[in-house]
Structure 1
């Protein structure tokens, strides 16, 4: 059965786990939350064993997964087996495996397929087989005119009430950033715990931090996610607010060092585990890694060190006159868009 995202939770509460679930979409927050809901339902129904298989590119070992699906569980009577498809495309071998499982599900396995990208072009006989044997849940990007409705539903799910004008103000402040919106709603739920007031515009203004006051975390997310226009806007906002560059550069250097390390790693998943990188952030790093070679990432890390020295007044000869804000913007534009690499030489 094909389900909308808002119906999944109710479906999980009202029935035993289906043999297979496909959670798909480019809205990372919503996909991760839906996958977490399936995992929670599995735990509630006594499934304690979980396997995770990252199936990306040439490293995807569908044969090993096939063997695992048919092997008896070692530690529990039932297990949850996850397949992660960052591109949303299992290929011929993967599509055959998933379709075969749907036709004859293993009695002790619930299969959870999480696809990081999705469109009508991704669908095929394999996803139809999932919908027939289990549930297919797709998340489409939340459009600007849908943000108010999405926020209203999110607020209600946290036990909060707000006027339409207050919801519109919150939508304006988060500026289409779904993760920022979810964080603001969770903060409101914490601040208003036990209160039954209806939030109006004035109260919303008093409680919600203006997301136009961008911080360095959002700046780095914009750069790593390949959003050059957002990078320029955030840099301008930080500069206008009088932020000091040295206070920002620690995080900039740290993030670039992380990406440079991941770029050199032979095993992405193992390196993420070693660096304790959350699953929700791994997709961002993968997108960034696809844009540059390991050598380029090392170069940009060196450039960041140069910006830091300029900002602290310790520039190398010939760079004393460089504007550190301009250099930071150029660096992060290059991170976001390979076409902007030429700016680093300017």
Structure 2
């Protein structure tokens, strides 16, 4: 199955429609805009109707199969839009889905939305049935390294000129929240009809709406980026993230670092394989191990334990300053002996 990014979809559609489109990822804006592009291209090919279905325990499969087979001489061509559940279809649903895909013909077009596709699903009959004649659109939210490129492309498409300070500010404020970022750019285009975005202009119209998970914080700590770690932590606090989740997540990562650090350098790759460290995160671990020796890692474990005890004693509010202080200290090249205590 051919894979493309959302920004490449229009070029693919200009070469003609596929029979199946699989939109995979967790970003609602990219799903929405990709679907809109497909439907717009489909309308030009006389697909005048579209029907949406959620694939779950309440799906009326008889209705779906009936719709597939009810085409008449006077019917319009139709688009079926299916939304898969977070964990994908179960065994029974997968069987029905494979049967449905086999019924799609030239007057039907199928769009499937999926939050993710697992290895097991890639081996399923319904997924394999999509390979021939299908297009996979990856709708994953760009990470902080990819986001500037996405914003620049968006600005070009909107005939906006943006300088580097403005670009950095938008990425800082809206990371993980493409919908809010898109709305901010629309607002800026209305405020400044000349299309020139400078830092003073952008500062007037934007606010911090970044969306993060604990793993964004962890990655910033591993990379030694203290400013980013503090920004992520601030947003997690505003979103009422439970401190205990942050503590447990960091504890788990530190234990992995301790395990890998205890191995000879030539055995660390095998250790990461055993610990199931993702390939795209291994460089972060390697960099962290160059900065954090065994003594420092054990100190971090000690202070995390103290923080967890404090949280369990209902000192959660006091825990946030301690997490901020610990974040800065973990990112420093040298680890001071006196840490902030709750």
Same-fold call, TM > 0.5? yes
Residues in 2 aligned to 1:61 and 1:229: alpha-carbon distance in whole angstroms:
45
Residues in 2 aligned to 1:99 and 1:5: alpha-carbon distance in whole angstroms:
25
The one of 199, 202, 205 equivalent to 1:201 is 199
**Residue matched to 1:72:** 71
Larger Rg: 2
**Residue matched to 1:106:** 105
Q: Which residues of 2 match residues 66-145 of structure 1 at below 5 A?
A: 66-73=65-72, 76-87=75-86, 89-103=88-102, 105-120=104-119, 122-125=121-124, 126-145=126-145
**1:120 Cα deviation after fit:** 4.5
The one of 208, 211, 214 equivalent to 1:211 is 208
Equivalent position SS for 2:132? helix
Write out per-residue CA displacement over residues 262-319 of structure 1, whole angstroms, 9 at most, x where no aligned residue. xxxxxxxxxxxxxxxxxxxxxxxxxxxxxxxxxxxxxxxxxxxxxxxxxxxxxxxxxx
Relative to the length of structure 2, the TM-score reads 0.56
**1:50 Cα deviation after fit:** 1.6
- Contact persistence 2:68–2:103 (CA under 8 A): no
**1:167 Cα deviation after fit:** 0.5
C-alpha RMSD over aligned residues: 3.2
Q: Which residues of 2 match residues 1-346 of structure 1 at below 5 A?
A: 1-15=2-16, 17-56=17-56, 58-73=57-72, 76-87=75-86, 89-103=88-102, 105-120=104-119, 122-125=121-124, 126-193=126-193, 195=194, 197=196, 199-206=197-204, 208-211=205-208, 230=235, 232-233=237-238
- Contact persistence 1:49–1:75 (CA under 8 A): no
**Residue matched to 2:287:** none
- Contact persistence 1:88–1:122 (CA under 8 A): no
In the comparison of the two structures, how many residue pairs are matched? 220
**1:96 Cα deviation after fit:** 3.5
Structure 2 unmatched ranges of 5 or more: 212-232, 241-316, 318-342
Write out per-residue CA displacement over residues 165-220 of structure 1, whole angstroms, 9 at most, x where no aligned residue. 22011111224322211111121223334x253x33233224x22236x9xxx9xx
**1:105 Cα deviation after fit:** 3.2
- Contact persistence 2:68–2:104 (CA under 8 A): no
Structure 1 unmatched ranges of 5 or more: 219-227, 236-325, 327-346
**Residue matched to 1:253:** none
Write out per-residue CA displacement over residues 237-285 of structure 1, whole angstroms, 9 at most, x where no aligned residue. xxxxxxxxxxxxxxxxxxxxxxxxxxxxxxxxxxxxxxxxxxxxxxxxx
**Residue matched to 1:336:** none
Write out per-residue CA displacement over residues 72-110 of structure 1, whole angstroms, 9 at most, x where no aligned residue. 259633111111213261333443444445556323211
**1:137 Cα deviation after fit:** 1.3
Residues in 2 aligned to 1:124 and 1:169: alpha-carbon distance in whole angstroms:
42
**1:32 Cα deviation after fit:** 1.5
**1:40 Cα deviation after fit:** 1.7
- Contact persistence 1:52–1:82 (CA under 8 A): yes
**1:59 Cα deviation after fit:** 1.0
**1:62 Cα deviation after fit:** 2.6
Residues in 2 aligned to 1:140 and 1:189: alpha-carbon distance in whole angstroms:
25
**Residue matched to 2:307:** none
Q: Cα 1:176–1:12, aligned 2, differ >3 Å: closer, same or farther?
A: same
Relative to the length of structure 1, the TM-score reads 0.55
Residues in 1 aligned to 2:187 and 2:117: alpha-carbon distance in whole angstroms:
30
- Contact persistence 2:50–2:80 (CA under 8 A): yes
Residues in 2 aligned to 1:73 and 1:113: alpha-carbon distance in whole angstroms:
24
